[in-house]
Amino acid sequence: MKKIIFFTFLFSILLILLTFLNYKIEVIETKIIDAEIVNKKLEKDLVFFKSEWEYINSPENISYLSKKYLHHKPAELIELLHFIKLLSNEGQVYE
């Protein structure tokens, strides 16, 4: 009779421990699923931002923005005579 009570008690303790272990496993699985959902969202955001970056850095867009905001003029090389005038007049050239 003592053996039956002992094994019943041991079996009950093991079932309680397994129930707690199962609960912990479910909590961890839920955290893993949440992390996977966040990871997929971040991957979609990364793809979107890469496409936006490709558009922003396209040569056509850079050319358009530089013409619109920077007002650059085409660069020209200085001629030798102008360079000599610059040296001789200490930077003052009148044309």
pLDDT digits (tens, 9 = 90+) for 5-19: 999 999 999 999 999
Assess whether pLDDT exceeds 70 at residue 90: no
Does residue 41 register a pLDDT over 80?
yes
Residue range 55-63: mean pLDDT, rounded? 88
> Do residues 16 and 8 make contact, with C-beta atoms less than 8 angstroms apart?
no
Residue 69 has pLDDT above 90, yes or no: no
Q: Higher model confidence: residue 75 or residue 49?
A: 49
CA distance 5 to 15: 15
